[in-house]
Amino acid sequence: MSRRLEEGWLVFDSVENREHDRCVDLFSRPDGSFGFEEFRRDPEDGGVWTPVQYHSALRFVTAESAKDAASETVSWLLEALGRR
């Protein structure tokens, strides 16, 4: 799990881009709020997922609103979701 996602947060969806070097995790928190974070994975980092933004600080009331915000913020996400 990422250094930016805290213990107790539950990732309920993880979406990768076509190249498998970017990922968005959608998660819930124990307080009932939801959020998302974008990560990258580079060969020189040994394939470890590294956060690239600070989206995880944002809070949403529903999982759907977190997903909508992620889709508006992360340029490649809509295309990746469309491939499902």
Q: What is the CA radius of gyration of the chain?
A: 12
Residue 4 inside a domain? The answer is no
Does a structural domain hold residue 48? yes
pLDDT at 41: 93
Let me know if residue 69 belongs to a domain: yes
Confidence of residue 1 (pLDDT cuts 50, 70, 90): very low
Q: What is the pLDDT of residue 6?
A: 83
5 in a structural domain: no
pLDDT tens-place string over residues 27-72? 999 999 999 999 999 988 888 899 998 899 999 999 999 999 999 9
Count the Cβ atoms, other than its own, within 10 Å of residue 23.
Answer: 20
Establish how many alpha carbons lie within 13 A of residue 76's alpha carbon, considering only the half-sphere containing its beta carbon: 14
How many independent structural domains does the chain possess?
Answer: 1
What's the mean pLDDT in 12-24?
96
Q: Which residue range forms the structural domain that includes residue 31? A: 10-82
Query: Torsion angle, CA of 11/12/14/15, rounded to 10 degrees?
Result: -150
Please report the pLDDT score of residue 3 as a whole number. 60
